[in-house]
Amino acid sequence: EAGPLEAELARRGIAVFSNASSHRMDPGVPLLVPEVNGPALTSRRSGPLLVTNPNCSTAGLVLPLAPLWDRLRPTEVFVATYQALSGAGYPGVPALSVVDNVLPFIPEEEEKMAAEASKILGFRPGNGPGQSRVLAHCVRVPSREGHLEAVTLKVRRPLPAREIVQAWESFHPLEDGRASGGLPTAPEQPVTYLPE
């Protein structure tokens, strides 16, 4: 368990950037997807620096939603994930469980996606006025690598498809960092629309 060690290192003044889940939902710890909520680093309170990244499926969900969120103001986000075996980590899924099979449930994955998306995108979870809900269904599939997400939104403000594509095409949140040379591996276009 990385959590206690991460907290101790941060307490000693060592900056900790973690891929572990231990502190993702802690109130004072940024849950960072730089293209989506990069300012969370500068707006955080003073004190030990501990930053986490979200679950891989959450990162894949919030990135294309970010340039649309304020325009569409979704009330519900329905997401079905089809996650490769590589996402199970080591030791992964027992081989015989996935041979020619789909595992229809990944423990705690659906709850994590809902909670993490809320924290990253800054919405209040629920189904009341001004609130949004993430409803996830997560499945493990017999593919070695790669995850797929099918996302449907229930929105307060519908937009024509061309405006949605335009929002994705004009989404360059890390442009300043790329221009200064501080983010050399950041993609120029973080969301790509393929009209297939």
Catalytic residue among 56, 137, 138, 172: 56
Residue 110 lies in a domain: yes
CA dihedral angle for residue 65, residue 69, residue 72, residue 75, rounded to 10 degrees: 90
Residue 166 lies in a domain: no
- Tell me how many domains the chain contains: 2
Catalytic residue among 23, 137, 138, 147: 147
Residue 149: per-residue pLDDT: 97
Q: What domain range is 43 assigned to? A: 3-52
56 noted as active-site residue: yes
| Whether residue 145 sits in one domain with residue 84 | yes
State the pTM of this model.
0.88
* Radius of gyration of the chain measured on its C-alpha atoms: 18
138 noted as active-site residue: no
| Whether residue 23 sits in one domain with residue 94 | no
Q: What is the pLDDT of residues 25-69, one digit of tens each?
A: 998 899 999 999 988 877 666 677 899 999 999 999 999 999 999
Q: What does the pLDDT average to over 12-22?
A: 93
Which amino acid makes up residue 127?
A: N
